[in-house]
Structure 1
Amino acid sequence: MSLLQSWPEPIIRVQSLSESGIRKIPDRFVKPLSDRPYNFTDTRTSSVNVPLIDLENLNSSNEFVRKETLDLVSHACREWGFFQVANHGVSHELMEKTRAIWREFFQLPFEEKQKFANSPVTYEGYGSRIGMEVGAKLDWCDYFFLHYLPEALKDEKKWPCLPVSCRKLVAEYGQELVKLSRRLTKILSINLGLNEDYIHKSFGGDCETSACLRANFYPKCPEPDLTLGLSPHSDPGGITLLLPDTDIAGLQIRRDNNWLTVKPIPNAFIVNVGDQIQVLSNAIYKSVEHRVIVNSNKERVSLAFFYNPGGHTLIKPADELVTNDCPALYSPMTFNEYRSFIRIKGPCGKSQIESLKSPR
């Protein structure tokens, strides 16, 4: 990818804006009327619980219970693109501690966080924007982005050294979520009628599969009806495991032209299908557009874990899912080529994957 070595405009730290006491947000954060979270052209916005799936049922001695659970995952991937998982094997204490340590990081003095300021080359570090278009409308969010896999990209020295337990906790959290992600990709592979390790191998196997974390901080916003914490998009990668802030909801998904607010379940992860799974499944599973709203009363922290193909791995529809009646919808493309779009343009709905459909 050919990316700039530095951001094209001065970086605005959203947390600093929020804490300055402003009553109006800068124009750079004001979304067009059609993109605002509470505008009059939207159909109604309501709260919903996406399917909740108990993964412990996959260990049941009852074959019917196991099959029913697999079917629930399949239905969620086909009809929702999102689901929540409970009894997933990740320690609840580790989840809470990791979320808390990131909350502490974002409360550190500005100078400490700035030591880890990122660039658009890799996005790794402390950031406040996605995309490099000059004059683009910005999202009301700061974040920290880091790599877990492949090992060649993992560099804990680039991770926060404060709070002192941050690196150790974040490393342990990443190990556990890699295990969970591999378990979920097995389930998705089986449900597609493929070998259970098909997605894992397609992503590059043990050596090339990539995994990364984006810790999101959504500060209080004096005009939450004018902006978004994260603009509408589908995730460009494989699958995403989101650990939300359970105190207040912020994630919204687009369904039947409505924006639905997802109610987070304590100790559950919100899982969503990314664009690469849509490609690999030949659109049997579909990534779904989503966004994040902000509020004026409470700041929020969420942790998004992305499990993706290796950057140089070529992703295409699985041969087993391509027939005369269902030809391949997408041409092969490496993940680096694919994700360069969002890294340059920023979040743009589902325009990227829709533009890649092969002519029928």
Structure 2
Amino acid sequence: MGCPRDWPEPVVRVQSLSETGEPIIPERYIKPPSDRPSLNNSPPSDINIPLVDMSGLTDSDHTVREATMNQISIACREWGFFQVVNHGLKPELVDGVREIWREFFHEPMDVKQKYANLPITYEGYGSRLGLQKGAILDWSDYYFLHYLPSSLKDHRKWPDKPSSLREVVEEYSKEIVRLGNVLLEVFSINLGLRHDYLQKTFGGEDVGACLRVNFYPKCPQPDLTLGLSSHSDPGGMTFLLPDENVSGLQVRRNEQWVTVKPVRHGIIVNIGDQIQVISNAIYKSVEHRVIVNPNRERVSLAYFYNPKSDLLIHPAPELITPEAPSLYPSMTFDEYRLFIRTRGPQGKSQVESLKSPR
């Protein structure tokens, strides 16, 4: 199954639509009623995803370290999402990388169009996910780039304006990969595996790491559309730097949508489909989506930390028992990603469709 070289229809920049000031959104962004945001199906506003202080992992007190590991374990098993603070990234880097991307999206259109992307790699400036002709689209633009493996990283495909963007993104990327390595070890230990099991399964130092920066323009009819349709992330795990000033991420929990409230300088971590497969569904990737705002734009950075693309991924043999047989066939991340890219966001249906018949 190959990937078409071009989009099925002319690409429209959502930011340009927003800037016209039209009070009505085009029909192709209007979601079916069952998929629209609804305040009637929201849990109490004081519910939020778990918060983990990562300084506890290096505390001299063994009890504090154990408690922090346990917090992460519970978050992975019960939520699939958590926020981390004291993660080692400097506050000025966290603020700076978000704001430099906001500046990019406010560059003139000819600056951005130089980096217009194609479905063959998705790398560059984009406005749609998936290749179905006539699909209902999301109210967002984005920028996608590769960091690891280094063979895929090409600074010429990273924006050259603002002038310090490449340097800031390089520093941020290095820190996110460090954080990913730490959490893979924590997950391995919590699952009862060797401490380096997940890192080795992901390819050792040859992991994949790529960034999608999401730009959600103001939307005159936010009750009719979504910034990003419901989906689970196809990769290993995701590090999301949210817009601290405008909430938008919603996580599905017990058939309700919980709106995540970002904490200052926090980073949101979520389990992807590949870790669901390796853990044999002890850890589950969770559906999430993004709502849009009538008065304010949003910028968020989703960093995907993935297995090396050509390694076979399957449930860890140590987690397979007669009571818990293997749920998934072996598949490379490349094969899985191609399966996803042709279809676009589709809730949890992709990973669920892989389950072996019982």
Q: Determine if the TM-score, normalized by the shorter chain, exceeds 0.5.
A: yes
CA distance in 1, matches of 2:169, 2:54: 23
Q: Which amino acid aligns with 2:5?
A: Q
Identity over aligned pairs, percent: 61
CA distance in 1, matches of 2:8, 2:217: 24
Q: Which residue of 1 aligns with 2:119?
A: 120
Pairwise CA distance, 1:342: 2.1
Matches within 5 A, 1:205-284: 205-207=204-206, 209-284=207-282
Q: Which residue of 1 aligns with 2:320?
A: 322
Retained in 2: the 8 A contact 1:23–1:223? yes
Q: Which residue of 1 aligns with 2:99?
A: 100
CA distance in 2, matches of 1:121, 1:342: 13
Retained in 2: the 8 A contact 1:15–1:219? yes
TM-score, normalization by structure 1: 0.98
Q: Which amino acid aligns with 1:106?
A: F
CA distance in 2, matches of 1:199, 1:91: 27
CA distances 1:274-304 after superposition (whole Å, capped 9, x unpaired): 0000000000000000000001000000000
Q: Which residue of 2 aligns with 1:311?
A: 309
Matches within 5 A, 1:1-360: 2-38=2-38, 43-47=41-45, 48-207=47-206, 209-360=207-358
Pairwise CA distance, 1:256: 0.5
Structure 2 gap segments, 5+ residues each: none
Q: Which amino acid aligns with 2:120?
A: V
Query: Secondary structure at the residue paired with 1:346?
Result: coil
CA distance in 1, matches of 2:329, 2:20: 48
Q: Which amino acid aligns with 2:65?
A: R
Structure 1 gap segments, 5+ residues each: none
CA distance in 2, matches of 1:172, 1:189: 26
CA distance in 2, matches of 1:194, 1:45: 35
CA distance in 2, matches of 1:210, 1:2: 21
Retained in 2: the 8 A contact 1:46–1:261? no
Retained in 2: the 8 A contact 1:53–1:86? yes
Retained in 2: the 8 A contact 1:45–1:259? yes
CA distances 1:118-176 after superposition (whole Å, capped 9, x unpaired): 00000000000000000000000000000010011011110000000000101111001
How many residue pairs align between the two structures? 357
Query: Secondary structure at the residue paired with 2:115?
Result: coil
Q: Which amino acid aligns with 2:133?
A: V
CA distances 1:222-275 after superposition (whole Å, capped 9, x unpaired): 000000000000000000000000001000000001011000001110000000
Q: Which amino acid aligns with 1:140?
A: W
Query: Secondary structure at the residue paired with 2:212?
Result: strand
Pairwise CA distance, 1:46: 4.6
Superposition RMSD on alpha carbons, in Å?
A: 1.0
Q: Which amino acid aligns with 1:38?
A: S
Query: Secondary structure at the residue paired with 1:330?
Result: coil
Pairwise CA distance, 1:323: 1.1
Query: Secondary structure at the residue paired with 1:240?
Result: strand
